[in-house]
Amino acid sequence: MRKLIMGIVEFREKMLPQYAEQFSKLALAQTADALFITCSDSRVVPDLLVSTHPGDLFTMRNVGNLIPPATAEGDSTGDLSEASAIEYAVLVLEVANIVVCGHSECGAMKAVYARNPKMKAPNLDKWLCHANDATYRLEHEGPLDDRLKPHDQLSQLNVLVQLEHLMTYPMVRQQVTAGTLVLSGWWFDIATGDMYAYEPASRSFEVIDRALAERLAARLAPRGR
């Protein structure tokens, strides 16, 4: 905690002068064009990984980067927080992209895979049920990459399941169908620092190098609608 408190002072003294003008402009509005959904894990640092700055990313984080699915009426079957972030991003910010980003060595995925909670954490146990479809898929359909550890295999499948949960929200489905919103599944390998994107054509997560980045950029929806 001391690191955090002293970090504020360091930011004020060293960084704030460079950001002062940007923050004064951002105080009036944010222009994020992407909702970035990822895990609360401290090793996943979105702004560092995608080289973004204040105002660039609207971020929603939780344990396991989970999105409770919606009912046919569009009501969340889980926590309202996730659904609210999705509604705000899509309806108010009018983001053109939603990224669900999982990661390697995810504690949530390890817990889901072990299915044997060691702690008394009833809320966490209930929350992790939103990843159950990933477990089912791993058991019945197998991994996308069998070289990965089982909990990482589960973590990759979980990204796909959460993208499907996103599509249960009528406003998301409508915008995706209209071509004004693009959903992407990413996966971060902590050990190597590589970010991967799910490519449906190869049914695998591929490293986002320059060549893949250009292909992904070519598929983006136009900003604004």
Q: Which is nearer to Zn ion, 86 or 106 (CB)?
A: 106
User: Which residues are at the interface with Zn ion (CB under 5 A)?
Assistant: 39, 41, 106, 108
Q: Quote the distance between the C-alpha of residue 27 and its chain's center.
A: 25
Cβ at position 118, least distance to Zn ion in Å: 17
Cβ at position 106, least distance to Zn ion in Å: 3
- Structure token pair of residue 66: 């989970």
Q: Which is nearer to Zn ion, 89 or 154 (CB)?
A: 154
Cβ at position 76, least distance to Zn ion in Å: 21
Strand partners, 103: 188
Asked whether the beta carbons of 87 and 81 are under 8 A apart, the reply is no
Q: Which is nearer to Zn ion, 57 or 108 (CB)?
A: 108
Burial of 62: CB neighbours in 10 Å, binned 0-12, 13-18, 19+: buried
Contacts of 167 (CB under 8 A, 6+ apart): 173, 176, 183
Q: Which is nearer to Zn ion, 16 or 121 (CB)?
A: 121
Cβ at position 108, least distance to Zn ion in Å: 5
Q: Roughly what angle, to the nearest 10 degrees, separates helices 80-87 and 170-178?
A: 30
Location of structure tokens 């970010």: 195
DSSP character for 76?
B
CA nearest neighbour of 101 among 172, 191, 184, 168: 184
Q: Which is nearer to Zn ion, 39 or 128 (CB)?
A: 39
Cβ at position 155, least distance to Zn ion in Å: 8
